[in-house]
Structures are given as structure tokens and as C-alpha cells.
A and B are shown apart, each in its own frame.
Chain A
Amino acid sequence: MSSTTTTARAAASVGNFTDERVGASKGVKFLARKIFPDHWSFMLGEVALYSFIILLLSGTFLTFFYVPSVGETTYNGVYAPLAGTRVSEAFASTVRLSFDVRGGLLMRQIHHWAALVFVAAIIVHMFRVFFTGAFRKPRELNWVIGSVLALLSLFEGFLGYSLPDDLLSGNGLRIAYGIIESIPVVGSYIAFFLFGGEFPGTAFIPRIYTIHVLLLPAIFLALIGAHLVLLVVQKHTQYPGPGRTNQNVVGYPLYPVYMAKAGGFFFIVFGVICLMSAFLQINPVWAFGSYDPSPVSADAQPDWYMGFMDGAVRLMPGFFEFTLFDHTFSFNIFLPAAILPGILTTVLVAYPWIEAKATGDRREHHLLDRPRNVPTRTGIGVMAITFYLLLLLSGGNDVIATHFNLSINDITNSLRLLVFVLPPLTFVVTKRICLGLQHKDRERVLHGEETGVIVRTETGEFFEVHRDLDPRVRWTLVQHDAQRPLELPPAEDENGVRRPGRFGDRVAYRLSRFFFEDRVEPVTPAELEAAHHEHAEPQALPASDDATTDRTPIAGA
């Protein structure tokens, strides 16, 4: 038992030390027993967070060996096909790190796999937040921070894999330079200032290095810090369920449960990434060779998270470029590479306010939505995913062509059509599915569960006895709000004076009709009563659907 007392005494003296200097007890009181709800979908953001930490750790190791310079040197290392070739210092140091530093290749692969997982996790996390409505008040600010983080992660990754100055990433930089050149009026100036002159120049690797290693990580740390602080201050949202209300958080305390679970999850993420890096090769730059503007390899793609832009650029037909008054308008590039991402980003960042306008809802929301209960939002989300996936697919059209024996021209032309046709289709289908699921929920509440007990009445009818749902199960199905379209107040008040803000009201009205015109409302106790009454008569066969009393039929079905 002396060890326990020693530990206790050590802990006490540390605690005393910190409390006397920074008042640590207050912090412990505030933080240690904070309740966090438990659901696997809340771990997606953690995957991103931990991947970021892994990137910092592995990246630091890489900086000890990587040389950010395009100065020329002759390769005389172990890899035979490069023997005697003139390569850049950046490339040579990367190959040296891979082959001559023990664990160097592993660290490079950990860094790169972690980057791919980082962006993937951000996107999955973002869609979880979107589909469950966690971006609503008071979390709009966190949504904006998250969107900015998502965008910056694309750039960070792009700059990162361009650092080895290999043939594949060098071509990517060439394309980036071309995109910048296509900006009207200032394109060539920006390109010259960013790259220090014509492509490739000697400035771009050191500059990319500074941005990738110093500027962006600093911004990331600040934004992630803000993101987490807001999460702690506003407390995490939770899924609806029995005992969970908008005024509480139900879950487990940070200390010890979440320190163990979330802390353990960090090790799990790190472990999985290490396992991938042990067995799956990524970015074998020695096989590409040092960057030279003349050769190029087939299968020239950026890392997956830039694939949607690559795909958009591939789909765009060339006739969108034209010359007018001695100037070239390269809309075949500017549209897919700048305007499209710009529009997507704007809609993404503004979405909480778009929806707020449609609902007119100014309350705080801490209970998440079940996606089926917000069919239009879910449909919009699936439409966005469809659009994104189609662009991603077209970024790999030549790989698809070789592996499935298709023609790249056919793939491109089909995707040009699908990109306009498929998203609205998926919107409609998703919305219908959500409404259907809501109907099913209503049915379950109104008709209860089947018990498997068959009853024969005196008149000879057979029916199956249904049992009402347990109130706790039923609660999840009925707790959501009935969202209805806003009503448009009269354009003129009683004195005939036209009301200011009319236009905004009309927009809100139209928007809310788009969102909520088609809806299924949750069952109320009154409806359940009525259903019970109807079912008290054994003549009505339970299978008949006349008994259901939807408050509103689906309009425009």
C-alpha cells in the first residue's frame, strides 16, 4: 500500500503546485466531468483531429531530412534506375529519406496515408454534421470554421505532395500554374509573383515548403483550437431519444470515460494508419523521377481530394474559351477550376443561414435531426454528394477506361450529361425515400408492433394483435418538430403602407415552401387515440390503410 500513498502524495503535490499558481481547481471543476454523448458518428471529427496530430508528428520527422530546394544534383544513391541522373535536391532528399533513413519510408507513408484519411474524415464528419443539422444555431460559427478547415486541408495536401518535386506532382503544379494564368486581368501577374517568374522557376519549392510547414499548420492549429473550444463551450449535440432534451446532455464524463475512449481512439487511428503504411505503398516518387517539363506518365491524377476539380476541368468543353478585344477569356478553365469551387464553397458556408431563412427558426438546437425527418435537407446533401462523386469519377476517366475496357470519350460525354441529370434525380429520389421512411415511422407508432398472436373473432375473421410501441421506442419516432412552410404576411399593413423587408419575406416564403411543402408530420397523442378507437372495432382489418390519419396528405407527390 505504500505505493498508493506515494502516488497519492505525488498527485497531491502536483495538484497543489498548479492550483497555487494558476487556480487549476477551477479548471478541473469545469472540465473534468463534462458530459459528452456517446455515438460512433461523433468520432468522425476525432478521426480528422487525430490524423492532424499524426501529420504534425510524422511531418516534423520528415522536415529533418527533406531539403526544400530545386538545386540540381546527381543521384548516386542505391536506386539503380536513377543512377547518374540529374535530379533536384528536393527529389534526391526524398529518395534518400525513403531508402537510406531507417523508418524514413514508413514515416513518409504514414504522413501521406494520414493526409488522405484526414481529408476523407473531414468530409465524412462534415456530412454527418450536415445531415443531422448540427450546424444550426448556436453552431453556425463552428460550421464556418469547419468549412474553412475543409478547404484549407485540400491546399495543404496539394502543397504537401508537391514537395518531393517528382514528375507526377510537378505536372500538378504545372496545371495549377495554368489555372492561375487563366484568371482574367491579373492571372499572369499572380502566377509570376507566386512562382517567382515562369514555370517552374526555383522559388516554388521553398515557398510551398514554408506555406505547408509553417503558415497553414499555424492556421490549422488556431482554427482547430477555436473549433474545439466552441465545442466545449456549447457542449456537444446529441441524438434525440428518451431522456434527452434540448436542455440537457446525456452521456459520460470526460474524466475518466472519454479520456480513455477518445484517448484510446487516438492510438487506434495512429495504429491503423501505421498498419496501412506497413503494407500499402503510396506515392513511390523514385519510380516517377525528378520533375522535368517534357515527359509525362499515363494515369496522371492528383491526390483523391483534388480529384473533383480535375474531373470538372476534364468535363469542360473547350469552346468556352474565346478571344475578345485582344484578350483571352479562358472560361473553359476558369469556370470549373475557380467559379465552380467558389459557388460550392459559398453555398456550403452559407447553408446554415439559408436554412434558417427557410424555417424562420431562431431557437437554439442541441438535439440532432434524424435525416429522414428533414427530407429536403437530406435530399440536398445527397445531391451534393452525387455531384461530387460524378466529378471525382470523371477525374479518373482514363483509369476507368483502361480497367473496364471503355472509351474515355464515351465516359467523358456520359458524365457531361450525368452531372446535370443525376443530381436532381437523386434529390427527388432521396426526398421521396425520406418521406416514405417517415410514413413508416408513423405507421409503427399508430399501429404498433406485431405480436405474432393471431386472434379469431366470433364472426370468423382473423387478425394479428398489434401492441403499442414502448414509450421509449416511440419517443424517438415522434419527438421531432413539425416543420411547416412560413406564412407570408400581407404586403401592406392595415393602413395600406407597404411593409419594408417584403422582398426578404418573399424569399423566405418561397424557400420555406421548397423545404417544407412536402412533409409528414409526427404523430400526436390525439392521433394515436383516434387510431386506437378505429382499431377497437375488429371489423376494420388492420391491413387496411384507410385507418391512417395523416394530418396532411403529401402535396405534389
Chain B
Amino acid sequence: MTALAARRRHPMATVVLVLLSLTVVGLIYALAAPGKATAAPASSDEVAAGKQVFLANCATCHGLDAEGRRNAPSLIGVGAAAVDFQVSTGRMPLQATGPQAPASHENKLGTDKTRQVTSYVASLGPGPSIPDADQVDPAKGNEAKGADLFRTNCEMCHNFNGKGGALTRGKYAPNLDKATPTEIYEAMLTGPQSMPVFGDSTISPENKRDIIAWVRGVNEEPSPGGFNLGSIGPVSEGLAAWVIGLVALIGCAVWLGAKAS
């Protein structure tokens, strides 16, 4: 008989067994379960560096402790996703006042500083985190489902092809041609400026990926009829009918009526 078998009726045997099972299950879970969306927890160096970046670029408007001021909201609890979105698209730091922060698709701070300031703001309070590559992979999304979701939730502002549209008082929903999959995900998750917040309970992560698949797909989709004239509908079509069609036909008419040499 082994030592283990000899102690199988020990009063503590049950307790040891339960503890062992819990440890095993816990280990299995820790290894097999999908990782959380956060990047590796920021080192305190990164948070500290991020604080410096924050103070240099953001505190003027957002306050020294990111508590917000009259012209800028509080950043406590906005989460890494919000900061990553705003900074990578070049919306923040805000260069000039206007109806809304325009996207320049150019990260003014650079990837490193972005990561740092993201970690810093994320450390101020829990909030939505940056999606991982798997969550935003367009190849894994269902385009048809995405089209349906986009139609109901997005196209009223962003237009049927994601070309953008007008909101009130000079605000607008931007053109999505240059939006990366991560930016699209983050925007849905955090609801920047006028955009509503589409949290995971409103649009599930899988559905978000479907939408991303469709938005990226529509950019690669050829226009079978020719130039799509901006995909903004009858306005550009009417303009083309006059400026191209009628001008050409009147030009031909003028030639027709002129005397030959």
C-alpha cells in the first residue's frame, strides 16, 4: 500500500481533495479560458510615464487628475478603449475647437506614448478595454449579419456605405473608409462624442465583429455600375446628370448647329 492510499480515510482527506480539485479546476480555467481583453497589466513604469504624457498633452483641458473641466469631460472610468480610440485617430489632443473633434487618422502622440497614456487613464478607474486582434478580425465576422446590423444601428448616421452623414449644429458622423477594425470596435464600445454607446449588451462582441467585417468589406466591394460618385445617393447623381450629361448634350447641340468650315 502506498502512503497516499494508507491515508485515504484520514479526516482531512476530504478537505485536501476539495482543495486539490479547486486548484486543478482553477488552473484549467486559467489556462483554457479566453484571456480578458486588456493588454498585459501595465507596469507601474508605464502608468507613471503615461501620467507624464497626460500632464503634458491632456491636463490643460481634462484637469490635472483627469476629473474634467468645463470644456472637457472627466476621463475617470472611460477605459483604455476610449483613450486608444481618441488618440490613435488623431482626435485627441484636440487641436482646435469646433462642433466636434475631427479625425486626422494620424496619431499625434506616437504608439508608445499612446500606450502609456492609455495605461494611465485606464488605471484611474475601470472601463472598456482595448479589443484583441481576434475580436476585431474581419475574416471571422459574418458580412451578411453585419450588413443587417449596420442597417439598423449605424447607417442612419454613417450612410448606407459608411460614407458619413450630418448631425445637428455642424456635428457629423464621419466617413468610415479609413477606420481600422480596432477603431470601429472601440468606437462602438465607447460611444465617442455624439455617437451612442453600443456596449456589449446592446451589440454583442460577435455582432460587433460582424459589423466590422461588413464595414471593411464594403470598402473592397467593387461598384459594378462604374464610379460610385461618392455613394451619397441622388444628390451626386443629379449633379452628374446636369454637369456631365446635359453639358455634353448641349455641347453636341452647339456643334450640330454651327456652320461647317
Residues of A whose CB lies within 8 Å of any CB of B are 38-44, 47, 80-85, 98-99, 105, 109, 113, 116-117, 120-121, 124, 167-168, 261, 264-265, 268-269, 272-273, 276-284, 287-289, 294-305, 307, 396-399, 401-402, 405-410
Contacts known (A281-B223, A284-B223, A284-B225); A298 close to B164, Cβ less than 8 A: yes
Inter-chain contact B168/A43, CB cutoff 8 Å? no
Is B237's CB under 8 angstroms from A43's CB? no
* Of listed A278, A288, A397, residue having the most chain B CB within 10 A: A288
A84 with B160: CB separation less than 8 A? no
* Tier of interface size on chain B: 35 or more
Chain A residue, CB-CB nearest to B168? A409
Q: A280 and B173: CB pair below 8 A? A: no
Across the interface, do A401 and B172 meet the contact criterion of CB distance under 8 Å? yes
Tell me the residues in window 197-248 of chain B with beta carbons closer than 8 Å to chain A beta carbons: 214, 217-218, 223-229, 231-235, 237-242, 244-246, 248
- With A84-B144, A117-B249, A410-B170 known, 5 other A-B pairs at CB within 8 A are A40-B256, A43-B256, A81-B217, A301-B233, A304-B242
Give the contacting residue for A109; candidates B143, B225, B249, B256; CB below 8 A.
B225
One of A47, A109, A279 near B253 (C-beta < 8 A): A47
4 shortest interchain CB distances as A-B pairs: A304-B238, A298-B165, A281-B225, A407-B170
Q: A265-B253, A287-B161 are in contact. Are A276 and B245 (CB under 8 A)?
A: yes
Give, as a whole number of angstroms, the nearest-CB distance from A156 to chain B: 16
With most chain A CB atoms within 10 A of its CB, the pick from B147, B160, B164, B168 is: B160
Within 8 A of A (CB), among B122-138: none
Contact A398 B244 (CB under 8 A): no
**Nearest CB of A to B13, in Å:** 57
Q: Is B159 an interface residue (CB 8 A)?
A: yes
With the chains together, A281 CA to B250 CA distance in Å?
22
How distant is B223 from chain A, measured CB to nearest CB, in Å? 5
Q: Contact at B252–A283, with CB atoms within 8 Å?
A: no
How many angstroms from the CA of A427 to the CA of B205 in the assembled complex? 60
- A166 closest partner in B (C-beta): B160
Main secondary structure, interface of B, reads helix
Pairwise interchain contact B246-A287, C-beta atoms closer than 8 A: no
Residue in B148, B152, B169, B233 whose beta carbon sits within 8 Å of that of A85 in the complex: B148
Across-interface contacts of B229 in A (CB, < 8 A): 280-282
Cβ contact of A268, chosen from B147, B155, B252, B258, cutoff 8 A: B252
Q: How far is the CA of A187 from the CA of B51 in the complex (A)?
A: 65
Q: Are A81 and B242 in contact (CB under 8 A)?
A: no
- A-B pairs with beta carbons under 8 Å apart, 15 shown: A40-B254, A80-B143, A85-B148, A116-B245, A265-B256, A280-B225, A288-B160, A289-B151, A296-B156, A297-B160, A298-B165, A300-B233, A304-B235, A399-B166, A401-B166
By the criterion CB–CB under 8 Å, are A294 and B144 in contact? no
Report if B184 contacts A (CB, 8 A): no
Contact, CB under 8 Å: B169 / A409: yes
A401 to B170, CA, bound (A): 7
Q: How far is the CA of A401 from the CA of B167 in the complex (A)?
A: 9
The distance from the CB of B8 to the nearest CB of chain A, in whole angstroms, is 59
Whole-angstrom CA separation of A84 from B226 in the bound complex: 26
Q: How far is the CB of B220 from chain A (nearest CB, A)?
A: 11
Interface membership of B58, Cβ < 8 A? no
Nearest-neighbor residue (CB-CB) of B156 within chain A? A296
User: Do A295 and B252 form a contact, CB below 8 Å, given A272-B245, A287-B161?
Assistant: no
**Complexed CA–CA distance, A186 and B214 (Å):** 45
Contacting A167 at CB < 8 Å: which of B160, B163, B234, B249?
A: B160
Cα distance, A39 to B242, chains bound together (Å): 21
Is the pair A284, B228 in contact by a Cβ cutoff of 8 Å? yes
Q: Are A273 and B214 neighbours in the complex by a CB distance under 8 Å?
A: no
Name the distance in Å between A252's Cβ and chain B's nearest Cβ: 11
A120 touches B147 (CB 8 A): no
A289-B151, A298-B164 given; A283·B237 CB < 8 A: yes
CB distance from A241 to the nearest CB of B (A): 14
Q: Does B158 contact A (CB under 8 A)?
A: yes
Contact B245 A273 (CB under 8 A): yes
Is B257 among interface residues, defined by CB-CB distance under 8 A? yes
- Complex contacts, A402 vs chain B, CB 8 Å: 164-166, 172
Query: Does B99 have its Cβ within 8 Å of any Cβ on chain A?
Result: yes
Q: Nearest chain-A residue to B147 (Cβ)?
A: A81
Closest Cβ neighbor of B249 among chain A residues: A47
Alpha-carbon gap, A49 to B163, bound state (A): 36
Contacts of A297 in B (CB 8 A): 155-156, 159-160, 165, 233
Quick one: given A80-B143, A272-B249, are A117 and B241 in contact (CB under 8 Å)? yes
- Decide: B231 and A287 in contact? CB cutoff 8 A: yes
Selected from A39, A81, A120, the residue in CB contact (under 8 A) with B245 is A120
